[in-house]
Amino acid sequence: MSGNVRIVTDSTATLEKTTIDKYGIEVVPLKVLFGEEVFNEGVDIGSGDFYSRISRGEIPTTSHPGEDEFIDVYKKSLGSGSSILSIHTPSKLSGTVDAARAARKKFSNEAIEIIDSRTIGLGMLVIPAAEAASKGKSLKQVNDFVQNLNNAIYTVGALNTLEYLKRGGRIGTARALLGGMLRIKPILSFEEGEVKILGKARTTKRAIRSMIDLVSRNMKSGESIHAVIVYTSDNGPAISLRDEIDRNFKCDNLELSQIGPVLGTHIGPGFFGLGFYESRYLKGLSK
């Protein structure tokens, strides 16, 4: 359990059940729809089934949780006498944060803080938040700590196709690449929750090289990093990227994680990338 501060997040964090149980994290699911079939992410549908279905040509859509779902979760947590830090997928990618904020207004006298993350690597914020809360930190301390991580995190990836971003309306400035992307992998970052173009690569090997260079340019020399390698349908390129990150940088933490159905709906099969921040930003855990 997370002491007097309860952590609430959403299913795009793709947390392991053991982690959820260890810290008592409340996870509000987003929904994936195939036609009239509606699934709660991480509850009714997993990544394996989801990517299998889109490989057969099925076209998914998504929807975010409603205000009432957050009200129920907040009531449950506040009823135990805890305060709440609610951390969610970027508002520029989903209406989840807006639903959480609407629910927050129903508890005007209660201690609830909401964080609009800047990354698709949501677990990189949620897990440290839960660890800080478990050490007895106050809501302000945990909130300040996570906001600092949120500002420090950097996310970059290579898309196999822009079709899914285009279909979901999340293409942002990457729209400029449409029409000339045959056999080219766009290198994109997720800055302040928005998709931005960083470059293009013709092969997976060159995409990995570009990402290594980007990590080098966005960290201080000699600093160790905390990194998570992510992928959608194919872990081969992600494993190669992980090996290169391990070879080129000092890593205090280096994990491999499959992206869930909701984000997979918008970035499509074949995506791989990483989120990282310098490990010095985790020092707040020990203070």
Q: How far apart are CA 211 and CA 99, in angstroms?
A: 34
Contact between 85 and 143 under an 8 Å Cβ cutoff? The reply is yes
Tell me the whole-structure pTM to 2 decimals.
0.90
Among the three residues 130, 151, 172, which one is the final residue of a domain in this structure? 151
Q: Return the half-sphere exposure (C-beta side, CA atoms, 13 A cut-off) of residue 157.
A: 31
End-to-end distance of the chain based on CA atoms, in angstroms?
Answer: 20
- Is 55 inside a domain boundary? no
Among the three residues 81, 116, 151, which one is the final residue of a domain in this structure? 151
CATH of the domain at 83: 3.40.50.10440
Name which of 114, 121, 57 is nearest 263 in CA terms. Answer: 121
- Is 40 inside a domain boundary? no
Q: Are residues 103 and 231 in the same domain?
A: no
Q: How far apart are CA 40 and CA 31, in angstroms?
A: 5
- What stretch of H or E contains 133? helix 123-134
DSSP assignments along 11-53, one per residue: GGG---HHHHHHHT-EEEPPEEEETTEEEEBTTTB-HHHHHHH
Among the three residues 135, 151, 167, which one is the final residue of a domain in this structure? 151
Name which of 26, 30, 270, 74 is nearest 161 in CA terms. Answer: 270
pLDDT in tens, the chain (287 residues): 445 999 999 999 999 999 999 999 999 999 999 999 999 999 999 999 999 999 999 999 999 999 999 999 999 999 878 899 999 999 988 899 999 999 999 997 779 999 999 888 899 999 999 999 999 999 999 999 999 999 999 999 998 877 777 765 555 544 544 444 546 788 988 876 677 888 888 899 999 999 999 999 888 778 899 999 999 999 999 999 999 999 999 999 999 999 999 999 988 999 999 999 999 999 867 65
Q: Are residues 256 and 200 in the same domain?
A: yes
Q: Are residues 182 and 274 in the same domain?
A: yes
Q: Are residues 140 and 107 in the same domain?
A: yes
Q: Are residues 159 and 250 in the same domain?
A: yes
Domain count, the chain: 2
What's the domain range around 138?
5-30+65-151
**What integer pLDDT is reported at residue 161 of this predicted model?**
78
- Is 56 inside a domain boundary? no
Contact between 58 and 65 under an 8 Å Cβ cutoff? The reply is no
**What integer pLDDT is reported at residue 31 of this predicted model?**
97
- What stretch of H or E contains 277? strand 272-278
Q: Are residues 95 and 188 in the same domain?
A: no
Q: How far apart are CA 185 and CA 203, in angstroms?
A: 7
- Is 39 inside a domain boundary? no
Q: Are residues 138 and 25 in the same domain?
A: yes
**What integer pLDDT is reported at residue 183 of this predicted model?**
60
